[in-house]
Amino acid sequence: AVVSTQSTGAGVNDEFIARLEEPWKYSTGVPGKAIRDQMMDGLNHWLGVEKPVLDQIKKLIGILHEASLLIDDIQDNSTMRRGQPAAYLIYGKSEVINIANLKYFEAGRLALELPDFSSCDVDKCEPSRIFNDWMIKLHQGQGLDIYWRDHFVCPTIDQYIDMVLRKTGGLMMLAFDLMYIFRAPHRQNKRFDKKSGDEFMATFSRMFQIRDDFCNLWDAKYAANKSYCEDLTEGKFSWVIVQGVLKEQAAGRSQIMSILKQRTSDDNVKRHCCKLLESLGVQKETQELLMEMEVELHRQIEEFGGNELFQTIVDRLSMKRVEILTS
């Protein structure tokens, strides 16, 4: 008998399609800090987006964030995520890449389902276009980070900040841009317009990433949830590493760059690198920079008329809350 190649109907693979979600459920089963949801609640104090639209934007951003973490762990060879083994170590790289890509498209569908505007006072008001533009920038930022790491190229300060605004700032700016076009007319704050909002979010993104880079090497809680000085094992050109490499280059030395090339897992070598960075003043200068950025964010918040929710977020990210490891 000839075997029929006609489908027997919809639903024949439902059981297996459901199983594709296992790496996603594993990864999202341990909740993160929800900083992006809190950030959007803070922004909404100024923008007044209606709850159904805000909830959909939150869902979209949440999916993108979780999917990007799945991919990041593979690209960075990370072994831990939120205190448990990275998803790809349990389910394999292929399954995890596939579900992460699937989730990107689910997020894109949510953007398509947001209403369009026939008229708007800012450029690019279509939610789907905003989504695509920032997805491109996000992948450019991630690509720069990977390229510098894999080709042992230390970026300049300007190049590093541009990467941060694409990669880390991408999701935050996507959230802001989507929320801004859905803002409530009666809640318009002339002091918090598109230009000032962009500048505020850029400052917040820079602080968020530089703080994360600092914590990767010197925060006790970070080491417990991920691993000790993971950026050194990855060979990543983080803010503190870039500062250290540039300082050594100016002095005709290359010890930090040499350590970075080893992709070391040796804690003694990592502690030695941290001591080098401390001796170069990188730890102290970065702490001071982050404290200055914290003050600047609080100043901007007051200038926009105050925002208790966002003040709380900035306070949570304060250097005063970081339990600094001794090298």
What DSSP line would sit under 130-198, residue for residue? HHHHHHHHHHHHHHHHHHHHHTT-PPPHHHHHHHHHHHHHHHHHHHHHHHHHT--GGG--TTS-HHHHH
Q: Which is higher by pLDDT, 14 or 118?
A: 14
Contact 81, 95 (CB under 8 A): no
Q: Which residues pair with 84 in a beta bridge?
A: 81
Which candidate, 249, 267, 265, places its Cα nearest to that of 257?
Answer: 249
Q: Specify the pLDDT at position 119.
A: 44
Q: Specify the pLDDT at position 122.
A: 57
Going by C-beta distance under 8 Å and a sequence separation of 6 or more, which residues neighbour residue 206? 161, 164, 165, 169, 293
- Residue 188 pLDDT greater than 90, yes or no: no
Q: How far is CA 301 from the centre of its chain?
A: 22
Q: Specify the pLDDT at position 123.
A: 57
Q: Specify the pLDDT at position 126.
A: 87
Q: Which residues pair with 219 in a beta bridge?
A: 324
Tokens 């001071």 locate to 288
| Mean pLDDT computed over 173-190 | 87
Q: Specify the pLDDT at position 325.
A: 80
Tokens 């404290």 locate to 291
Q: Specify the pLDDT at position 115.
A: 82
Q: How far apart are CA 110 and CA 28, in angstroms?
A: 19
What sign results for the dihedral spanned by CA atoms 167, 96, 237, 212? positive
Q: How high is the mean pLDDT of the chain?
A: 92
**Percent of the chain predicted with pLDDT > 90:** 81
Q: Specify the pLDDT at position 71.
A: 97
Q: Specify the pLDDT at position 118.
A: 43
Q: Where are the beta strands (DSSP E) in 175-295?
A: none
| Mean pLDDT computed over 31-46 | 92
Q: For residue 85, what is the enclosing H or E element? A: strand 84-85
Q: Which is higher by pLDDT, 229 or 123?
A: 229
Tokens 């190229």 locate to 153
Residue pLDDT, tens place only, 235-270: 999 999 999 999 999 999 999 999 999 999 999 999
